Structure 1
Amino acid sequence: MKTTRLPQWAILFCLLLLPSAYAADYLGHQLDGQVLTVRTDEGNVQLTAWHSEAFAVHYQPTGVKQLPSFALAGKPESVMVSLTDKGDELIFNAGDIQAHVRKSPLRVRFYRGTDYIGGEERGLFNYDGLRGFRFALQDDEKLLGTGERVVGMDRRGERLPLYNRASYGYGDNRTEQMYYSVPVVMSSHKYMLVFDNSASGWVDLGKSESDVLQFEASAGRTAYLFTAADSFEDLLLNYVRMTGKQPLPPRWALGNVASRFGYRTEQEVRDTIGLFREKQLPVDAIVLDLYWFGTEVKGTMGNLAWHKDSFPAPEKMIADLKTDGVQTILITEPFVLTSSDRWQEAVEANALAKNLGGEDKRFDFYFGNTGLIDVFNPVAQDWFWSVYAGLKEQGVGGWWGDLGEPEVHPYDAIHTLADGTKASADEVHNAYGHQWAAMLAERLQQADPDTRHFIMMRSGFAGSQRYGMVPWTGDVSRSWSGLKPQVELSLQMGLTGLAWTHSDLGGFAGGEVFDQEMYVRWLQYGVFQPVFRPHAQDNIAPEPVFHDERTIQLLRPYLNLRYQLLPYLYSMAFENSQTGLPLMRPLFFDDLKQLENAQSYMWGDAFLVTPVTAAGVSEVTVQAPAGIWFNFWNGTRYQGGQALTLASPIEQLPVLVKAGSFVPMVKAVATTKDYSSAELTLHYYHDVSVKNAAYQMYEDDGKTAGAYDKGLYELLNISASVSDELVIELARDMPSAYQGAPTQRQITLLVHGVEQLPKQITIGQQDAKQWAYDSQKRLLTIDFSWDHQAQRVRIK
């Protein structure tokens, strides 16, 4: 007799129709502060009002192992809650949203007033080797998030693995599984769901059943987070209020970072930075890949100590670089090879994950026979930190955690959590890079609480941003195909809080012949992404200084522009640290019709950027949002709300600026060490259609941790209003002076879009003395000194 095997989803669907699929019945409840505990015949369900628009929901089935939350940060905010028992359901009110808990069978749904937002279809399912949640989807919902994937912006209809995994040499071909499989989904209905489970699993976004969003895992915590808001901007703020805010990085992180696989000697490092200075290209940091601790790719991973033949005087090298304004960033990996110098040390320190017999787990992978550092175990953390502490004492300024998926993670590797709980690799795999970053960030903060730290990691989890995580998009193909998906990847990561996601500029993997056009286009785009870091296998140099003079001439204005824009970039970084707003912002924030647009994005509030991702392109079509827009390069005015065709010669990346935008700039410098905003060029893009505009520029010393909370900052509040005249107002808020704060500023105000020669310009009560008008460019230039008292510029 012939039998037909049903697919996994069909079997699961049938099982879920059975009462045993956690169709729990209510037995009682208790409200303790902001925590509602519902007792059922299958265990407790705990709902915590995390803030007025968010709930943490934790199902606790009897006898089912639970792990700690990796997603949640700190403690709930203090909110006034109320509970109403309606007989067949409980209504738990957190303030702005409510959780409706149906008693039999138990199901949780979320409302704003009487308006349904979203919620469980049946709630928890739990079988041996399979557990998770099912949420109801409405017909018109679109779904985003889930981390790094090349599958398109709207991810509804996809079934995607939740298992962090390297994706070497990927391009614009469909790629479902990459370095960050973040279990966070954002709905076009303006709510977010977080599967607070670190185990390997799947997220089914309406593929198996069109009206069901399903999170699945092989084991782990049976919990999720829910938050909602009236706008996408507020939704991201609500998300980071639950999972943690990204700390403001040091200012130098916004500068040019020299990087390759890799610098083999101290002399090569010095010569590379020397060439940047000789070619008059700015640079702020240099990344040393694995050759800093060995001469070979294989066999030395885990040494994590300077190879003295290649780097005879590392401390002096680091000090000399720092004097020149250049930070040293070192790669580290969580693998200790049995052939490395530290193998026995790691074994004796009990620093490695164990096998099922309780011995150190050994296995083979590309680099050799190895063990894996158990970053979950406080004892192993102590040993790993001792390595970092020694390097920090030598002056290392930044940290790069590579292969932290982990790249190879045997299923039978056993980890020990802080509370002594044992967990298999599959139970905690997706939180490995997250926990590594947590260990490093927390120990760095303890060792040096007044300094901001830079931590670049190849893998993470929901909430990793709170540890200062700087992700990148991995080992991308060095090709046009590799460049094309980069906007999609960064936009999607920004929607899950990981707003500093960037790419190896120029591409990393492969490539036998230097493609000047592709390289230039990728680095042009890099000016408008969070971190400017060309990086590649060194068969072709990733650094612009090693290329021909034409390439350098094409790129010099862009590298200088990156530094000229530092006040704008730094203010964006500050805004992200306070609100969770990504630096790269999708166009659908203002127009849902643009939800699937991964060709263009907003860079902050002012810039609309459209990278050139194909060869031989001389013009680009941009779907401009409604409003008035200006060409950044020549000032041409455009009416938005339509497709615009922009010229894009090799010298010019298509960039528009929104009318009503302020863009502060400074003179280009060789390094952020020389940065100052005492001479400030302030661009305003004026149009009569914009009656009121406002902007806030943030400044501090660029290095002190918690400067804002300590009051060691200044905010320049700048506004514009239009009636029968254009009025621009400047004011400063500075609670306490910080090191390097300007006592006054020399302002060059550039007003774009001025249609005719002004009749009068006044600054305060006086006529302006230094101003000029260019009728062809429709550009008004006004120079004046500002003593930081409230000032008003009137243009009639």
Structure 2
Amino acid sequence: MRLHLILLFLLIAINTQAQSWQKTNEGAKVTVDNIAIEIAFFNPSTVRIIKSPSDSSFTQKSLSVIATAQKIKLVSTQLNNILTVKSEDMVVKCNLVSGVISFYNKAGTVILNEKENSASFKPFNDAGSNTFTVEQAYVLDKDEAIYGLGQQQRGKMIQRNLTLNMVQGNTDDYVPFFLSAKGYGLFWDNYSPTVFTDNAQGTSFRSEVGDCIDYYFMTGSNADGVISCMRNLTGKAPMFPLWTYGFFQSKERYKSQDELVGVVKKYRQLQVPLDGIIQDWQYWGSNYLWNAMDFLNEEFPDSKKMVNDIHDLNAHVTISIWNSFGPQTKQYRELDSIKALMNFNTWPQSGSTLWPPKRDYPSGVRVYDPFNPVARDVYWKYLSKMHGLGIDGWWMDSSEPDHLDFKPSDMDNKTYLGSFRKVRNAFPLMTVGGVYTHQRAVDSSKRVFILTRSAFAGQQRYGANTWSGDVTASWNTLRNQVSAGLNFSLTGIPYWNSDIGGFFLNNFRKKLDDPEYRELYVRWLEFGTFCPMMRSHGADAPREIYQFGKKGDRSYDAIEKYIRLRYSLLPYIYSASWDVTANNSSMMRALVMDFAHDKNALDINDQFMFGKSVMVSPVTNAMYVKPVANGRDTSMAEDFSSVKTKETYLPAGAVWYDFWTGEKFAGGKKVMKETPLDIIPLYIKAGSILPIGPQVQFATEKKWESLDMRIYPGADGKFVLYEDENDNYNYEKGMYSTISFDWNDKKKLLTIEDRKGMFPGMLQSRKFNIVIVSNNKAGSENSFTPSDKSITYTGKKVMLKF
């Protein structure tokens, strides 16, 4: 009898601990130990988890998430103390006693668990506002590979066993999102300074300010599926114009309009392709006129003529703009009148343009508040005059923004949305978004193109390409760019690049006269050929091709070769960009995206796929220099006495072809490739159909009337050739065409399907030259042996047997 009473009391105790729950349209709400928990499905594969103290009240509106919850079929049940909410793609379980959330795939296998008792709300006074420091931890598998978290210059591919202090900086762009090789992603939706920690105790996010814990869990069958979820949540990536995939030349800085236009003229005289020229800072004059968005420097006397001259040379100009203003600018006065300027030290700190800065003559430059919609209007009001000049793109520098001589009280600055601390990391999202939305509102004839130094979740929807900041040139830095760009792309933001050659040359005393630097620059440019943007830029020495010699010189010839290779790949690149826009794909692809099944590929930090066909293995160490004693000094000298090699891993599950020779390799092993200065290892996956475009001086010089189509046999394959008007937003109205190429490897049959769609100026007839690649039948980057078959294609289905 006594035993029965004890059991009865235990059952009563357990049942009273278990909390009641409420069914909602999106999932469920429950309160456990004074913590309110909401499970809200946005769609079958994405769920939002919100936790807060049950006695708190707040309004939580995301800056990153623009999707709204869909009405979907959910099944909610309770068994013992476990609440289960099931969609067609996943299962979420909440322990009604502990409050722990667990995520399962539709097969019922657990994917991720919260760590027990890890939800934390510590009271925090945020510049007079009572809120919390919030934290949540998770339990990952011991050997689970995760990626993303933005861009870090650490050289790590897998983001485990580390601590990241996530505050946007010059060379570190943080996005609190990670993607697991298990096929899920987690987005921590908070904009305040955040610490990400992964160690033996767990994996956690801790944000300095938050009214609640707010995160999204999403599941996909692979990395592409997870990134698609993230884009569906935070915004699709629009198309860039075709010219932005050509070659850009820049430096810090062109000091007159004659110098700027002269660079374009020189490229045209040398017949080296070029599409973009970039004007860096101080075209506005003194630092007291910082970012006036006007050509007030006397060396730029006729800005309209400058822009017209560049356009007449069939090139495009991008201009530097900042997120701060000097005290003598019109913007400063107008923004100050609405209290939309913040007070902390930023760049430049001196009003003088002399170097080093004269700090006793402070510039008075202040950062503006992009969280204020009126401030964003003011920003565009003045920038619109530059738009009216015909400027083609915006280089939004210091979009973190620069924050010098940091003091904790700086974070108490008031923004339109609360303290600067509360919204710090979303600064780039808001300032870039302000320019994009304003330009889209007034002009559909020219696609928005923004080059920016920082980013946050959702920024892909704003026509922006992020670069890796003012990095210092070294071989280690070059190597670290690979993993930095790949992890950045794995947050769902597909467009990234770096300063080819590195911004600062501090490590090279002789600058361009240093043979090791010339080798580094060439290798960096080879890597840049296979980034979403190919842009040469830096301080301390000019980087134009003619600074590296003349035709016949090793460095010059290698640079020209890869610029030309970039242009020959434009049909492939532009089609890949359509795949990004239409299908949420990624252009620069970590190996986990296509080879998650191959554990040997998951942590490789110096290889990647460019599009879904081309494996790129950049050379990231010096090969052709040797030290030479010169008295007390030791310098480097060129040494091309022997050809060096690089080892590349070819993932299992595919057959591979050497791009340069056509030699075939089985996957799942390492191969060696000779790497003279003008060769980096490139391998094409079997089943690929690779279009090679015409040789041009600029991207739109020739229509793609005759394309060489290389077929790499050994697997079935498909390629979709995308074409439109190359600029404007008519593609959003369906004004574009696609042509699908399907290769049946067993039958050796190529089917070119009916063309779908149309647009003004579309080619009605064209030539396709088909080559079945094999050993010694791949040729160079520009041409190869005569085609196996050439056909005239008029838009109707064609079947070719080989």
TM-score normalised to structure 2 length:
0.86
Deviations along 1:162-201, one digit per CA (max 9) or x if unpaired, are 111224xxxxxxxxxx2x1111112232211111000002
1:381-432: CA deviation from partner (whole Å, max 9, x where unpaired): 1111112212111111111111111111764355666xx64x2222111100
- Partner residue of 1:619 out of 645, 648, 652: 645
Q: Which amino acid aligns with 1:193?
A: L
1:80 lines up with 2:80 in the alignment: no
Question: Is contact 2:529-2:563 (8 Å) kept?
Answer: yes
Post-superposition Cα deviations, 1:327-383, rounded to whole Å, max 9, x if no partner, equal: 221111111233556433332244313x6xxxxx67786353322100001121111
Q: Counterpart of 1:573 in structure 2: which amino acid?
A: S
Maintained 8 Å contact 2:169/2:400: yes
Q: Does 1:710 align with 2:733?
A: yes
- Counterpart pick for 1:722 among 720, 739, 745: 745
1:584 counterpart = 2:584: no
In terms of mean alpha carbon deviation, does 67-76 or 777-786 score higher? 777-786
What displacement does 1:274 show? Answer: 0.3
Q: What is the CA–CA distance in structure 2 between the aligned matches of 1:237 and 1:434, rounded to whole Å?
A: 19
CA distance in 2, matches of 1:413, 1:307: 33
Matching of residue 348 in structure 1 with residue 348 in structure 2: no
CA contact (8 A) 2:663 2:775 kept: no
Question: Corresponding residue for 2:762?
Answer: 741
Q: Does 1:596 align with 2:603?
A: yes
Measured in 2, the distance between the counterparts of 1:578 and 1:460 equals: 22
- Tell me how far 1:65 sits from its aligned partner: 5.7
- 2: CA distance, partners of 1:406 / 1:308: 24
Name the residue aligned to 1:101.
Answer: 94
Q: Provide the C-alpha distance between the structure 2 equivalents of 1:402 and 1:26, rounded to a whole number of angstroms.
A: 53
Mapped contact 1:714–1:732 kept (Cα < 8 A): no
Which structure 2 segments of 5+ residues have no match? 1-15, 125-132, 351-362, 625-643
**Secondary structure of 1:69 counterpart:** coil
Alpha carbons of 1:620 and 1:388: their partners in 2 closer, same or farther (altered >3 Å)?
A: same
Shift of the 318–594 alpha-carbon distance from structure 1 to 2, 3 Å rule, reads same
Q: Is the 8 A contact 2:447 2:727 kept in 1?
A: yes
Aligned partners of 2:776 and 2:395: how far apart in 1? 50
Partner of residue 7, structure 1: none
In structure 2, C-alpha distance between the alignment counterparts of 1:365 and 1:162, rounded to whole Å: 24
The answer to whether the 8 A contact 1:376-1:415 is kept is no
Which residue in the other structure is 1:278 paired with? 269
Distance 1:486 1:306, change over 3 A: same
Aligned counterparts, 1:157-168, within 5 A: 157-167=161-171
Amino acid at match of 1:750: V
**Deviation string for 1:464-510 (max 9, x for gaps)?**
11212211111111232321211111111111012211111111112
Work out the CA distance in 1 between the residues paired with 2:59 and 2:305: 49
Q: Is the 8 A contact 1:406 1:429 kept in 2?
A: no
Task: Report the aligned-residue RMSD.
Answer: 2.4
Superposed, 1:503-522 pairs within 5 Å as: 503-510=498-505, 511-512=508-509, 513-514=511-512, 515-522=517-524
Letter in 1 for 2:146: L
Closer, same or farther: CA 575–224 of 1 in aligned 2, 3 Å: same
Q: Distance in 2 between matches of 1:284 and 1:64?
A: 53
> Take 2:162 and 2:610, find their aligned partners in 1: how far apart are those partners?
28
Separation (CA, whole Å) in 1 of partners of 2:592 and 2:178 = 16
1:754–1:778 CA contact under 8 A, matched in 2: no
Q: Distance in 2 between matches of 1:698 and 1:137?
A: 40
2 CA distance for matches of 1:365 and 1:260?
18
Partner of 2:633 in structure 1? Answer: none
Could you tell me how far apart the structure 1 residues matched to 2:49 and 2:345 are? Answer: 38
Alignment match of 1:559 (pick from 554, 563, 580): 563
For residues 641 and 405 of structure 1, do their structure 2 counterparts lie closer, same or farther at Cα, with a shift above 3 Å needed? same
- For structure 1, the 5+ residue unaligned runs are 1-23, 168-177, 356-360, 757-771
**2: CA distance between counterparts of 1:577 and 1:430?**
25
Structure 2 counterpart of 1:36, from 28, 34, 53: 28
Against the structure 1 CA distance between its residues 363 and 234, is the aligned structure 2 distance closer, same or farther, given a 3 Å change threshold? closer
Q: Does structure 1 residue 133 correspond to structure 2 residue 124?
A: no
Which one of 206, 213, 233 corresponds to residue 216 of structure 1?
206
Q: Secondary structure at the match of 2:298?
A: coil
Identity of aligned residues (%): 23
User: Quick one: distance in 2 between partners of 1:738 and 1:155?
Assistant: 44
1:97-155 Cα offsets, whole Å, 9 max, x none, are 02112222222111123211113113521102431211122223222221112331122
Q: Residues 363 and 748 of structure 1: is their aligned pair in 2 closer, same or farther, counting only changes over 3 Å?
A: closer
Counterpart-to-counterpart distance in 2, 1:67 and 1:334: 27
Aligned equivalents of 1:446, 1:141: Cα separation in 2: 45
- Pairwise CA distance, 1:26: 6.9
Amino acid at match of 1:332: I
Question: Is it true that 1:439 corresponds to 2:465 in the alignment?
Answer: no
Cα deviation digits, residues 656-699 of structure 1 (max 9, x gap): 11121100121021112324222111111123xx2x22221211
* 1:284-321 Cα deviation digits (max 9, x unpaired): 11111112212x5x444232211251211112221232
Aligned length: 721
2:497 to 487, 495, 502: 502
Q: 2:487, 2:590 → 1: CA distance? A: 9
2:7 alignment partner in structure 1: none
Matched, 1:116 2:110: yes
Which sits farther off after the overlay, 75-84 or 552-561? Answer: 75-84
Question: Which residue is 1:412 aligned to?
Answer: 410
Is the contact between residue 245 and residue 579 of structure 1 (CA under 8 Å) also seen in structure 2?
A: no
Partner of 2:692: 665
Pick one of 338, 349, 352 that aligns with 1:366: 349
Deviation readout 1:205-238 (Å, 9 max, x if unpaired): 12xxx14111001103520111112222222212
Residue 698 of structure 1 aligns with an amino acid whose one-letter code is Y
Distance 2:702 2:432 in 1: 29
Equivalent position to 1:50, from 32, 37, 42 = 42
Cα contact 2:575–2:720 (8 A) shared by 1: yes
Contact 1:600–1:608 at 8 Å: present in 2 too? Answer: yes
Q: Which region of structure 1 is more displaced relative to structure 2, 38-47 or 608-617?
A: 38-47
3-state SS in 1 of match to 2:364: strand
Offset, 1:60: 3.3
Q: Is the 8 A contact 2:346 2:367 kept in 1?
A: no
CA distance in 2, matches of 1:706, 1:416: 41
CA gap of 1:166–1:661, structure 2 versus 1, over 3 A, is: same
In structure 2, C-alpha distance between the alignment counterparts of 1:286 and 1:712, rounded to whole Å: 29
Which residue, out of 776, 784, 796, partners 1:789?
796
Out of 469, 488, 491, the residue aligned to residue 493 of structure 1 is: 488
Q: Partner of 2:709 in structure 1?
A: 682
Task: Report the Cα offset of residue 566 of structure 1.
Answer: 0.6
Question: Hey, what's the Cα distance between the residues in 1 that align with 2:708 and 2:264?
Answer: 29
Aligned to 2:547: 546
Asked if the contact 1:25–1:105 (Cα under 8 Å) also holds between the matched residues in 2, the reply is no
Residue 668 to residue 92, structure 1, CA distance change in 2 (3 Å): same
- For residues 478 and 461 of structure 1, the distance between their equivalents in structure 2, rounded to whole angstroms, comes to 25
Structure 2 CA distance for partners of 1:732 and 1:714, relative to 1, 3 Å: farther
1:269 positional shift: 1.0
- Partners of 2:147 and 2:312 in 1: CA distance: 45
Report the AA paired with residue 743 of structure 2: A
Which amino acid counterpart does residue 215 of structure 2 have in structure 1? Answer: Y
Q: Please state how far the C-alpha of 1:453 moved relative to its aligned partner.
A: 0.8
Distance 1:211 1:386, change over 3 A: same
SS of the equivalent of 2:282 reads helix
Q: 1:677 to 1:127 in 2, by over 3 A?
A: same
DSSP 3-state at the match of 1:369: coil
Distance 2:490 2:557 in 1: 36
